[in-house]
Amino acid sequence: MSESKSKLFNEEGDLVVPKAVVGRLSLYLREVQQLIRDGKETTNSTELGKLLRVTDAQVRKDLAYFGQFGHPGVGYRCQELVAAIKNIMGTNNTWNVALIGIGNLGRALLRYKGFHDQGFQIVSAFDVDEKVIGTQVEGVEVYDIQDLSEIVVEQGIRLVAISVPSHAAQTVVDQVVQAGIEGILNFAPVTISVPSKVRVIGVDLAMELEQLAFTVVNRDSKS
Amino acid sequence: MSESKSKLFNEEGDLVVPKAVVGRLSLYLREVQQLIRDGKETTNSTELGKLLRVTDAQVRKDLAYFGQFGHPGVGYRCQELVAAIKNIMGTNNTWNVALIGIGNLGRALLRYKGFHDQGFQIVSAFDVDEKVIGTQVEGVEVYDIQDLSEIVVEQGIRLVAISVPSHAAQTVVDQVVQAGIEGILNFAPVTISVPSKVRVIGVDLAMELEQLAFTVVNRDSKS
DNA sequence: TAGATTGTTAATCGATTAACAATC
DNA sequence: TAGATTGTTAATCGATTAACAATC
C-alpha cells in the first residue's frame, strides 16, 4: 500500500517536508541519543527546543510531519523517539558506503569511528593510484576505480563519499553514477552534475571556515 | 564612522541578512572563482542562478544586501565580484587558524590544501598527547594545549578548528574560549556551549551521511 | 481528578519571486 | 539608439510561532 508515505508527498510526488526540518531531525536524533547516554527515559518538546535553540512548537511540528511519536502529558520516550527518527532517516539498518579517493581526507574518513554508530560502514575504497590499489587501509580493501560497478553490486553499496582532487571530481562522479550509486557525499570543493535521480550533498571544509569568518567579522549584538 | 555597515544591521544591532543568504554567498564566490579559471571576464544573475539552481532575482537580491556590485546592461565583472564577496566574508586577508586535536581527522585537516586558497592558514596545532607535543606535522608545530592562550596572542589567532573526541570537546571548548578565540569550527559530533560572543559552526560528518540517506530513501519525483 | 504535554489550527513572520524603471 | 541587465518594490509563497482542545 503506497499510502504509508502519503503524508510526506503531495499529488505531484514532491516531498512536502521543508528541507530545514530534515536538518533538525538529525539534530534531534543526536540530542536524544545523548539524553539516553545521560540516563534519561523521556524528554519533551521544551527540553529538545532548548537543546537546539528552537521553540517547543517547532519541535512538535517538525516531528508531527512524520507521525505521532509523543505521549500527551508525558512527552517523548527517548528510545521510542530514536527508533522513530532512525526509521524516518533510513538508518535503522546499516548502509554500506564506498569511499573514492584515498588521499589525506580519504584516509581520515576511513579511520573515522563516528560513522558506524549512526549506521554507516565504509566497506570498500577506490582510487586510481596503482601504489594503493590492492592494499588495505584500516582493514578496507582498496580497489581500482574501474572495478566500481562490479563491487557496488557485490556489496550492495548505494552511497559513496568522494574525496578526490577537485579536477578529478566530475569524472569520478560520472563513473559513480554509471555504477548506479544513488547518493553522493562530495568533499571536493566544486559543483558537480548528476542526473536528477541521484542525490548529492556537498561538504566544503574551506567554505565552513569562510562562513565562520563571516559570523565573526559581522558579529551582531546577540547570539 | 559606524555608518559603513549600517545596511547589515538594524537599530537593535541585529544582523538583518537572512542566514541562507550568507550560505549562498560562499557558493557565489566558489562559482565565480571557477568562472575566472575558465577565462570568463563577466557573469550575470541568470548565469549564477543556473549554477546554484536559484532564480536570477534571488542572486541580485542576495548581492544587493551588501551593496551595488553589478553593472546594468553588463552584469557582474568576475574579478570585482570576487573581491567584493571576499570583503564581505572577511577573507580578503588571511586568517591564522589553530587546530586542536591531532587525531586522524586533525592530521587530514593539517594536510588539506583547500584552506589556503580561501584565505585560511593553520599556523599551529594543539594536543594533550605528550608523544605528539613538540613534534611537527606538515611543518606545523604541535603544542601542549596548556600553552594555547600564549600562542594565540603570539600568532594572532582568532579561529580554531576542533577535532578532538566527543567526550573531550566541551573541556577543550572552554579552554579555547578562555584563550579569547572568537570562532570555533567544531568537528566533534556533540553540541557545545559557548558564551554568546563566541561563534560556532558544527560539522558532523555522520550527520551529513544521514541527511543523504534520508534524501535517497524519501526520494521525490524531481531533483 | 489536576497537571502536563502533545498534535494541530490559525495567525504571524520572513524569505523568495515577479515585475519594471533606471542604467549602461 | 536598441538591447541587456541591474537594483528595488510589491506580491507571493512558505516556514515559524502562538494558542488550545484533546489526551494521558
Q: Answer yes or no: is B175 within a domain.
A: yes
Chain B partners within 8 Å of A220 (Cβ): 9, 13-15
pLDDT tens per residue, range A24-56: 999 999 999 999 999 999 999 999 999 999 999
Predicted local confidence at residue A219, as pLDDT: 85
Q: Assess whether B103 and B50 both reside in one domain.
A: no
As a whole number of angstroms, the longest Cα–Cα distance in chain B is 62
State which residues form the domain around B133: 95-207
CA distance B168 to B102: 13
Q: Assess whether B110 and B195 both reside in one domain.
A: yes
B183 neighbors B162 (Cβ within 8 angstroms): no
- What mean pLDDT do residues A4-19 have? 68
pLDDT tens per residue, range A183-213: 999 999 999 999 999 999 999 999 999 999 9
pTM for this structure?
Answer: 0.94
Q: Assess whether A99 and A202 both reside in one domain.
A: yes
Closest residue in A to B17 (Cα) is: A218
Q: Do A216 and B12 touch (CB under 8 A)?
A: no
Q: Which of A59, A89, A119 is the endpoint of a domain?
A: A89
Interatomic CA–C1' length for residue A194 and nucleotide D8, angstroms: 35
Q: How far is CA A164 from CA A76, A161, B181, in A?
A: 42, 10, 32
CATH of the domain at A47: 1.10.10.10
Q: Do A89 and B214 touch (CB under 8 A)?
A: yes
Strand D closer than 7 A to residue A23 Cβ: no
Q: Answer yes or no: is A48 within a domain.
A: yes
Provide the number of structural domains found in chain B: 2
Q: Assess whether B55 and B105 both reside in one domain.
A: no
Interatomic CA–C1' length for residue B53 and nucleotide C24, angstroms: 27
Q: Answer yes or no: is A217 within a domain.
A: no
Residue ranges for chain B with pLDDT beneath 50: 1-6, 223
Chain A partners within 8 Å of B32 (Cβ): none
Q: Assess whether B44 and B147 both reside in one domain.
A: no
Q: Assess whether A151 and A62 both reside in one domain.
A: no
For D14, which residue's CA is nearest its C1'?
A: A18
Predicted local confidence at residue B92, as pLDDT: 96
Strand C closer than 7 A to residue B55 Cβ: yes
Predicted local confidence at residue B223, as pLDDT: 45
Predicted local confidence at residue A27, as pLDDT: 98
pLDDT tens per residue, range B115-165: 999 999 999 999 999 999 999 999 999 999 999 999 999 999 999 999 999
Nucleotides in chain C with any atom closer than 7 Å to protein CB: 3-9, 14-19, 22-24
CATH of the domain at B141: 3.40.50.720
